[in-house]
Amino acid sequence: MQKSGIVDKERVVYLPQDEMPTHWYNILPDLPEPLAPPLDPKTLKPISPEPLFRIFAKELVMQEVSAERFIKIPDEVYDAYVYLPRPTPIVRARRLEKYLATPAQIYYKCEYVNPTGSHKPNSAIAQAYYNKAQGIERVVTETGAGQWGSSLAMASSLFGLKCSVYMVRVSYDQKPGRRTMMQIHGADVVASPSNKTKFGQSLLKSDPNNYGSLGIAISEALEDCLTHENTRYCLGSVLNHVLLHQTIIGLESKKQFESIDVQPDVICGCIGGGSNFAGFAYPFIADKLKKETNTEFIACEPKAVPSTTRGVYTYDFGDAAELTPLLKMYTLGHNYQAPPIYSGGLRYHGKAPSLCLLINKGYIKSVAYSQTEVFEAAGILARTEGMITAPETAHCVRYVIDEALRCKKTGEKKIIAFNNCGHGLLDLQAYDAYLNRKLLDYEPATINVPKLVNQ
Ligand SMILES: Cc1ncc(COP(=O)(O)O)c(C=O)c1O
């Protein structure tokens, strides 16, 4: 029998399966102040949970507003996690440390170790389960990079649900492998904007070459959900229930670090809608909110989609067609046309409200990078650790490398941990563009966010 904690203290930290956490962590009761309420898109008044039952499975809506600090993982979901497999290991990146000649220690949590290759199944499995348990026949969603879509397609096939995915057109063209994965799992996949919805038709009429955005794909998926019986919508990030499903990552990591008597000084992750970062960081932030640690938290985003570094902290819609409730968040405006960077999963105009509150209150720092900088960092990781990350993940690899090099200058022995949230084996076209110096860097000259609500 493998002993709890360490197999190779110098290199890989496992957590035995019988020590996998049995509950998710919900940060809402621990936030420094209550979240601003979501607003009804028509009346702009605070919305009650009931109207959302037509959009999401009921249990997911209840998790959205839950005041419970810990929520039990249903047995069926726990079982599916074990088969993913979970718990995932933590690796110490000793060869990267050596290459950088840094006194810092670098660890990463391996969330890419599952059939679809990212953190997304942690919520996809839970969402498919709750929909199935409620008797829903079909789920519909959007996907940017294809990581979320392929995870929901896989989870739907495991739980016997039909699944339709609106895939942002630029990713549909850039990542045909992801589309094939979803189709193998039995999902119906269309490029968004599409001719399947009224909203998509209206966009294609004015611009047949519209390359899409997550905001547009969300609008199409919502329209599809509202016009089909026994169908519910699933979202891959941003909402509280998604963030809390992802905390299995940080809860496992805490146990793993405790087992080797290590306390990270820096916790770092990339942010698309925020669930990846929150899933890793929130169980550690819980200690900072109780003033028990001084850990630094760093959220990394693209300069092309700088929601938290250049956006406005205000109420905005979650989608382009203005169908969703308004959320208070850092936003670039719901009609922001994110440039076609290869990190499709980070092309969302807004971010999760709890994450934005914690950034606004100074608990989390955010930083932004251009795609050339992040691919350079990903290349270093690949050549030292052997791991080719997803371009999204490479954003925090850039931060980790820069921080480790700062430590080299100051002599600090910081312990830096990041969430290795995706492999890049279906992103090789992007790596090819990087190697052939064809990557373009983008930054918006100005950002105009409409003021929708007087605050
Ligand atoms: C590999 C990878 N990492 C990170 C993200 C961003 O995740 P989140 O929206 O949870 O912040 C995505 C989103 O698709 C992704 O595919």
Inter-helix orientation angle 75-83/121-133, to 10° = 140
Question: What count of other Cβ atoms lies within 10 Å of the Cβ of residue 322?
Answer: 16
For residue 195, which phi and psi values (nearest 5 degrees)? -90, 5
Return the ligand 1 atom nearest residue 246 CA.
10
Taking phi over 0 as left and psi of -120 to 50 as alpha, with beta for the rest, 117 belongs to left
Return the ligand 1 atom nearest residue 242 CA.
10
Give the closest residue (by CA) to ligand 1 atom 13: 345
Distance 56 CA to ligand 1 centre (A): 21
Residues 112, 419: Cα–Cα separation, whole Å: 9
Return the ligand 1 atom nearest residue 118 CA.
1
Tokens encoding 130? 């709750």
Distance 269 CA to ligand 1 centre (A): 10
Distance 294 CA to ligand 1 centre (A): 26
Return the ligand 1 atom nearest residue 344 CA.
14
Distance 451 CA to ligand 1 centre (A): 28
Q: What is the pLDDT of residue 11?
A: 87
Residues 283, 398: Cα–Cα separation, whole Å: 23
Residues 273, 123: Cα–Cα separation, whole Å: 13
H helix runs in 290-412, sequence order: 307-310, 353-360, 371-385, 391-410
Question: What count of other Cβ atoms lies within 10 Å of the Cβ of residue 296?
Answer: 17
- pLDDT averaged per 10 residues, the chain (length 455): 51 95 98 96 93 96 96 98 97 97 98 97 98 98 94 98 96 91 98 97 96 93 97 97 98 97 97 98 97 97 98 96 96 94 94 98 98 98 98 98 98 98 95 96 94 84
Distance 422 CA to ligand 1 centre (A): 8
Per-residue CA distances from 116 to 86, 394, 418 (Å): 13, 18, 20
Distance 301 CA to ligand 1 centre (A): 11
Distance 21 CA to ligand 1 centre (A): 22
Distance 349 CA to ligand 1 centre (A): 14
Give the closest residue (by CA) to ligand 1 atom 15: 345
Exposure of 190 in the CB half-sphere (CA atoms within 13 A): 18
Taking phi over 0 as left and psi of -120 to 50 as alpha, with beta for the rest, 362 belongs to left
Give the closest residue (by CA) to ligand 1 atom 14: 345
| Pocket test residue of 109, 112, 122, 147 for ligand 1, highest count of atoms within 8 A of CB | 147
Residues with CB under 6 A from ligand 1: 118, 144-145, 147-148, 237, 270-277, 345-346, 390, 392-393, 421-422
| Pocket test residue of 116, 118, 249 for ligand 1, highest count of atoms within 8 A of CB | 118
CB 97 within 8 A of CB 414: no
For 430, the enclosing helix (H) or strand (E) is: helix 428-435
Question: Vertex 337, ends 331 and 340: CA angle to 5°?
Answer: 115
Tokens encoding 315? 């109420």
Distance 17 CA to ligand 1 centre (A): 25
The 3-state secondary structure of 19-37, one letter per residue = HCCCEEECCHHHCCCCCCC
Q: What is the pLDDT of residue 9?
A: 65
Distance 412 CA to ligand 1 centre (A): 30
Distance 271 CA to ligand 1 centre (A): 7
pTM here? Answer: 0.97
Give the closest residue (by CA) to ligand 1 atom 12: 345
| Pocket test residue of 237, 243, 387 for ligand 1, highest count of atoms within 8 A of CB | 237
| Pocket test residue of 247, 248, 276 for ligand 1, highest count of atoms within 8 A of CB | 276
